[in-house]
């Protein structure tokens, strides 16, 4: 079974209609052959029969994940994701220095081999992401990422395409580390007239939690206030 204890899943927000949790890295959202996914773990922890998954994070990614408590909430939240009405922001560490320090990256995604994706002229689904970055220490850069679409591995592919793959991301040739340094950092949306605005700094990984990175993150404490480029994504976010 997975190595994450049931009691270790931190609830960031306990709303009447949904939980927002801090998903640990290394646990899948779905069950695997030899390990439970996040849903049965959270059901056991919260002593409920069922929770609904309304969006996904990769197994290697930590951070904010919404789990609906009922079917109606799952439908409502799903429609918000489809309408791109839920802002998502991620933090990542990459190396070496990227081809450009900030901007928008858009390209057609195509599945290639060994579970990997790549930008390709023969791809169909367009993935669009925006980013800012800053130096943390020699050879290491902190990225603030804003995906405008929800394609599989799009942030991981984007940083690989910029020449700065995510540290620890073996699938995309990132330098070996104690974890994959990608974290779902912030969610911001309106739910039934209430503004939900959550940030969740990463709590695991030697490089995320060291002083240099903590200082660098302070500039990104309110990512929705940054002047992001104006652009229209070409595909629905989910």
The residues that are catalytic are 58
Cα–Cα distance for residue pair 130/61, rounded to 1 Å = 18
Residue 68 has which token pair? 């609906």
**Residue 221: CB atoms within 10 Å:** 10
Sign of the torsion formed by the C-alpha atoms of 181, 6, 3 and 37 = negative
Question: Distance between CA atoms of 185 and 62, rounded to whole angstroms?
Answer: 9
Contact 150, 86 (CB under 8 A): no
Q: What share of the chain is helix, strand, coil (3-state, %, to 5)?
A: 20, 35, 45
């Amino acid at each position: 079974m997975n190595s994450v204890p049931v009691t270790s899943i931190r609830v960031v927000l306990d709303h009447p209609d949904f939980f927002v949790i801090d998903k640990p890295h290394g646990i899948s959202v779905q069950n695997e052959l030899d390990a439970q996914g996040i849903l049965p773990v959270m059901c056991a922890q919260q002593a409920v029969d069922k929770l609904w998954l309304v969006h996904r994070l990769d197994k290697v990614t930590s951070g904010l994940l919404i789990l609906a408590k009922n079917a109606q909430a799952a439908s409502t939240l799903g429609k918000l994701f489809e309408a791109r009405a839920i802002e998502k922001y991620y933090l990542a560490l990459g190396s070496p220095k990227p081809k450009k320090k900030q901007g928008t990256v858009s390209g057609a995604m195509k599945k290639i081999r060994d579970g990997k994706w790549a930008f390709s002229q023969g791809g169909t689904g367009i993935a669009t992401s925006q980013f800012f970055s800053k130096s943390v220490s020699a050879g290491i850069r902190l990225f603030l990422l804003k995906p405008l679409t929800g394609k599989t591995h799009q942030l991981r592919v984007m940083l690989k395409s910029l020449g700065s793959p995510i540290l620890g991301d073996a699938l995309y040739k990132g330098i070996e580390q104690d974890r994959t340094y990608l974290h779902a950092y912030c969610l911001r949306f309106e739910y039934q007239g209430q503004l939900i605005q959550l940030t969740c700094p990463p709590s695991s990984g030697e490089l995320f939690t060291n002083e240099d990175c903590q200082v660098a993150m302070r500039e990104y404490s309110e990512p929705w206030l940054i002047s992001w480029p104006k652009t229209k994504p070409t595909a629905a976010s989910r």
